[in-house]
Chains A and B, each alone.
Chain A
Amino acid sequence: MRVQNLARSVSLAGVIAAMGVAPVLLSTQANAEDEIEVGVVLPITSVLAPYGKPFVDALEMAVADANAAGGIDGRKIELVVEDSQASNTVAINAINKVMRGDPVAVFGPALGTQILAIMPTTEQAKVPLIAGPSTRKVTQQGADYFFRNSTHDAIAKENWTRYLVEDLGKKKIGILHVANEWGYSGRDNTAGFLKELYGLEPVSIASYQPTDKDLTAPILQMVNAGADAIVSQGHPVDEALLVKQMKQLGVDVPHIASGSLCVSVLRGLVSAEEVAGHYCEGPDVIPSLSEKPAVQAWVKAYKEKTGFEPDIYATHYYDAMNMLIQVMRQQGADREKIRDGLRDASYEGVIGTYKADEEGNLWHNAAIMKFLPDGKIEVVRRYSN
């Protein structure tokens, strides 16, 4: 009787498993032969969707233009987009799925941990991976096929440390950060440069959980420690909340936020009035501030497609896609050739020149912007290499 139950259960499980697997096996890969596949692994659903969807839009715009202009030697580019959600496991599944189709290159998420999770796969397959995570460590893993389309965090943090100490003359600096890899990167870099350049210690370091909405406690910690300037490294939602709650708590020492605050402003998460007096930094100035016609055209086109002005990170994805297209046109759509091309080429994107360094960083600038009470944005410090 029991043996029978076991047998029945086991065979039943087999039948179901077969039923589940069969349709997947039968699914054929729908890529036409003559299309060039470029993989995209970005968070499209989940809480990280704001770090994925805008980049997909930017990539699609670049591909649409290239295909309209005849593709690569007559071959169209096809983006194969997979959702990485807010999960490294899903990201790994997504990269595996993308790799089925033999892409010539892959665009990855601008999230250090997801990149660290998927990089072994792309390195093993020797496929170029282009992404914009800020954490410097990503490019210090000895990867041969990884390219960062943005500035790494050390450059940006050195820039804001110098600005605070040299331009503003502040010595008692408080660091406020979200308790994850991105926040710790800001904390460690800032504290490191304070020490290295000026022999200073931060007067206070406070962190908060990514899910926190009430930042009263860390803000008060800064106040109680007597900070005369605050730097913060968080995500768009919490940087916006931070600005708002600092105002409510009457804290008006200079505050430089990470690039996330630039994004919150562009997404309308914080009003011009609320953000007045605060600073945000980034790999470059907010694109819409640029007077160059090419940038203005890009801003206009992006706004038409998505309803938002592009932030600097979406612009980096756009430029990097165009750089990839140029490399493919010049060298051919082959993984090795693309890798070599990305490593050697110098590319003029809409916002400036991309050129790889030893680590595979394509962009090397940084900027700090100040929000003025009249709604204008002033560039207070630039760094370019």
Chain B
Amino acid sequence: MNRRSLAIAILVVLLLAIPLVVTSTYHMRIVNLALVFGLLAVSLNIVLGYTGQVALGHSGFFGIGAYTAALITEGGSGLLFWPGFLAAGIVTGIAGLAIGIPALRLRGHYLALATLGFGEIMRHVFFNWREVTRGMDGISGIPAPSIGIVELQGEGSYFYLALAILALAVLFCWRLQASKYGRMLAAIRDAELAAGTSGVNVARLKIAAFFISAVLAGFSGSLYAHLIRFISPDAFTFFEVTAPVLSMVIIGGVGTLIGPVLGAVVLTFLPELLRVSDAYYQLIYGAGLAAMVIFLPMGLLGALHGRLFGLFRPRAPASPASAGPPPEESAEAPDMVRAAALLSPKGGIGTGAVFEARGLTCRFGGLVAIDALDLQIQAGTVHALIGPNGSGKSTFINLATGIYQPTQGSIRFLGQEVAGARPWKVAAAGLARTFQNLRLFRSMTVRGNVLVAAVADRPAGWFETLLSLARSRAEEADLHARTEQALRLLGLWHLRDQLIRTLPHEQQRLVEIARAVAMRPRLLMLDEPAAGMNPVEVERLVTAIGRLRELGITILLIEHNVPLVMRLADRVTVLNFGRKIAEGEPDAVREEPEVVTAYLGQRLSDRLRQNNAA
């Protein structure tokens, strides 16, 4: 800790000394430009890196911020910088909301092109709305910022202002990344659907990310206006702003804390270093940009972490995956009392039918996936849903958890209508699920995956979380405790620091269950949890499901492994072509002639598979 503090202190001193060392106004201007674009890169990184939303409209936000600040401060005193700065953030933030809300419907390439369209539209507005923006004439007479009576006239004093604002933004991002919101954003980035069904309010967080990013972009636009002190529309085009800033983020390191700033510094200085040749420097710059992308897959930060930095800081041990075999599981039988205290369903176990679908119908085009289905799940039971492939089992879970909208019918969960509700609302009501084809948060550890879904008794708000106040720290401790119990319950505690993608599929399935359990659900829907497991692993799964029952979690089990179903289920519903063809006690159902007919081929193949495996 001491050496680290020392390193930071030295760095701060070095940074603060820059204006004293760099005497040329021209070079200080470049340094300051790097800070302004560093802030913009940080802003872009929040949507791009943290949230995984490909936004290419930051030239628009940057321009809105710059124009807002310029129009407010034009010809006025430097003290107007501050209201202009705030207004730039607010106006741009509103623009961010205006883009972020419709953008919820879009992802990937579509979002990229929609936001790019926004940036282009803003360019045309700056250019053609001459009454306000003065068109190509631009706005001059933007004052240098003042603090109190001190006017920050020179490049050197401006540097400290910009550096302070950038440092605050980086600190903010650091807090954001380390907080539960950072985890949630990363979860959205890694697996949006699973984030939603894990209780992450995807819509709100995406909008929040857009908003925060836009506010920071507006701030950087204001800083830009007060640095150059003249703005005109040509400074706010895709190729002038968005493309270089995107490059800064990509080359610096997407999703890292400081990578974007690093990228901004390097790319702002690169043309200067290349100015050896007037005619060729742009040529080399373009080629260099492509080359850096190709040859630095982890960004500059990634490329340097391993080398230069290893010189004076011992690296944290490599990922535990390579640090020898993990300790055996036997040492960690769960303490069921403690587990019950932390993980029993929020709101109690309940009685009677916790879940009831009535006349549920879902059509995709002409295909009827679920046809007028009635289904009741009794509290405290293990209810199995079986049927041949394509009979609508997974569709049913998707309907119940808000991923699909039913065409008709109602779904009542604990007396509350949840048909068509957003996934996180369903999750918050106490309905959790796993996915047949795994949807884990790939960039995180086992523990991180479960933490995303964990629910504390007293959640902290944005303000408390970002400032790390007592309540937020208490919440974190609470979340960690519950996560630990969920992992122990599934026998995964020894794997807690492994990156999720290094685990075999069967263990990933258990992590999905642990993640669902951490939500303290009243009803848990398991979609083929035993798929691909060998008999030993199946036994482990049976034990785990037994523990979940013990906690009082009601379970809906979708499974192809019929013997497993017969062992675990209290009640069985059989689907075929989206219709319920049988329901009842396991033994009774297996004798139903319709079930036998529907299942014959399937069961034979199951038997064959089991024989082969044995």
Chain A contact residues, CB within 8 Å of chain B? 1-18, 20-21, 23-25, 44-45, 81, 83, 86-89, 92-93, 96-97, 99-100, 112-113, 116-117, 120, 137, 179-181, 184
B272's partner among A16, A24, A112 (CB-CB below 8 A) is A24
Residues in chain A near residue B21, CB distance under 8 A:
25
Residues in chain A near residue B137, CB distance under 8 A:
112-113, 116, 137, 181
Residues in chain A near residue B230, CB distance under 8 A:
88, 92, 116-117, 120
A9 lies within 8 A of B301 (CB): yes
Residues in chain B near residue A83, CB distance under 8 A:
278
Cβ of B15 < 8 Å from any Cβ of A? yes
Choose the segment among B261-269, B287-295, B418-426, B562-570 that binds chain A (4+ C-beta atoms closer than 8 Å).
B261-269
Cβ of B257 < 8 Å from any Cβ of A? yes
B140 lies within 8 A of A116 (CB): yes
Q: For the complex of A and B, list the 9 residue pairs with the smallest distance between their C-beta atoms, beginning with the closest.
A: A9-B258, A181-B136, A14-B11, A20-B269, A96-B26, A7-B4, A180-B136, A13-B258, A117-B230
| B 265-280 binary contact with A (CB < 8 Å = 1; else 0) | 1100100110000110
Cβ of B596 < 8 Å from any Cβ of A? no
A89 lies within 8 A of B316 (CB): no
The residue of chain A having its C-beta at the shortest distance from the C-beta of B140 within the complex is A116
Minimum distance in angstroms from B296 CB to a CB of chain A: 13
A89 lies within 8 A of B269 (CB): no
B174 lies within 8 A of A2 (CB): yes
Choose the segment among B305-313, B336-344, B380-388, B583-591 that binds chain A (4+ C-beta atoms closer than 8 Å).
B305-313
B234's partner among A16, A17, A86 (CB-CB below 8 A) is A86
A87 lies within 8 A of B7 (CB): no
B305 lies within 8 A of A12 (CB): yes
Residues in chain A near residue B7, CB distance under 8 A:
7, 11
**Given A88-B232, A88-B235, A21 and B22 contact (CB-CB distance below 8 Å):** yes
B31 lies within 8 A of A87 (CB): no
A120 lies within 8 A of B229 (CB): yes
How many Å lie between the Cα of A6 and that of B170 in the bound state?
Answer: 9
The residue of chain A having its C-beta at the shortest distance from the C-beta of B300 within the complex is A16
- Provide 11 A-B residue pairs closer than 8 Å at the C-beta atoms, listed in order of the A residue: A6-B174, A8-B309, A12-B304, A13-B261, A16-B300, A45-B279, A45-B282, A96-B26, A96-B29, A112-B137, A120-B140
B4's partner among A4, A92, A100 (CB-CB below 8 A) is A4
Identify which of B8, B273, B300, B316 gathers the most chain A CB atoms within 10 Å of its CB: B8
Residues in chain A near residue B130, CB distance under 8 A:
184
A99 lies within 8 A of B26 (CB): yes
**Given A24-B272, A117-B138, A16 and B25 contact (CB-CB distance below 8 Å):** no
Cβ of B242 < 8 Å from any Cβ of A? no
Known: A9-B257, A12-B262, A13-B265. 16 other contacts (CB 8 A): A8-B313, A9-B256, A11-B8, A12-B258, A12-B305, A13-B262, A17-B34, A17-B265, A21-B18, A24-B273, A88-B230, A88-B234, A89-B235, A92-B230, A112-B136, A113-B136
Residues in chain A near residue B140, CB distance under 8 A:
116-117, 120
Residues in chain B near residue A180, CB distance under 8 A:
127, 135-136
How many Å lie between the Cα of A88 and that of B142 in the bound state?
Answer: 15
How many Å lie between the Cα of A15 and that of B14 in the bound state?
Answer: 10
Cβ of B178 < 8 Å from any Cβ of A? yes
B304's partner among A16, A45, A88 (CB-CB below 8 A) is A16
Cβ of B550 < 8 Å from any Cβ of A? no
- Chain B: interface residue count, which band? 35 or more
A24 lies within 8 A of B265 (CB): no
A24 lies within 8 A of B269 (CB): yes
Residues in chain A near residue B266, CB distance under 8 A:
16, 20
A113's partner among B128, B138, B174, B228 (CB-CB below 8 A) is B138
Minimum distance in angstroms from B159 CB to a CB of chain A: 12
A113 lies within 8 A of B316 (CB): no
Minimum distance in angstroms from A62 CB to a CB of chain B: 19
Residues in chain B near residue A93, CB distance under 8 A:
26, 29-30, 33
Residues in chain B near residue A92, CB distance under 8 A:
228, 230
Minimum distance in angstroms from A123 CB to a CB of chain B: 11
Minimum distance in angstroms from A23 CB to a CB of chain B: 6
B138's partner among A15, A17, A116 (CB-CB below 8 A) is A116
Minimum distance in angstroms from A271 CB to a CB of chain B: 30
A88 lies within 8 A of B138 (CB): yes
How many Å lie between the Cα of A14 and that of B309 in the bound state?
Answer: 12
B232 lies within 8 A of A117 (CB): yes
The residue of chain A having its C-beta at the shortest distance from the C-beta of B230 within the complex is A117
Cβ of B27 < 8 Å from any Cβ of A? yes
Cβ of B240 < 8 Å from any Cβ of A? yes
Minimum distance in angstroms from A2 CB to a CB of chain B: 5
B316 lies within 8 A of A10 (CB): no
Minimum distance in angstroms from B51 CB to a CB of chain A: 19
B316 lies within 8 A of A4 (CB): yes
Interface residues of B in 148-201 (CB under 8 A from A): 170, 174, 178
Cβ of B24 < 8 Å from any Cβ of A? yes
Residues in chain A near residue B308, CB distance under 8 A:
12, 15
Residues in chain B near residue A16, CB distance under 8 A:
262, 265-266, 300, 304
Residues in chain A near residue B265, CB distance under 8 A:
13, 16-17, 20
How many Å lie between the Cα of A23 and that of B276 in the bound state?
Answer: 12
Residues in chain B near residue A120, CB distance under 8 A:
140, 229-230
How many Å lie between the Cα of A81 and that of B275 in the bound state?
Answer: 11
A12 lies within 8 A of B269 (CB): no
How many Å lie between the Cα of A20 and that of B261 in the bound state?
Answer: 13
B128 lies within 8 A of A100 (CB): no
Minimum distance in angstroms from B338 CB to a CB of chain A: 26
The residue of chain A having its C-beta at the shortest distance from the C-beta of B141 within the complex is A120
B24 lies within 8 A of A100 (CB): yes
Minimum distance in angstroms from A81 CB to a CB of chain B: 7
Residues in chain A near residue B228, CB distance under 8 A:
88-89, 92, 117
Residues in chain A near residue B170, CB distance under 8 A:
10
A25's partner among B22, B231, B240 (CB-CB below 8 A) is B22
| B 233-265 binary contact with A (CB < 8 Å = 1; else 0) | 011000010000000000000001111011001
How many Å lie between the Cα of A17 and that of B8 in the bound state?
Answer: 15
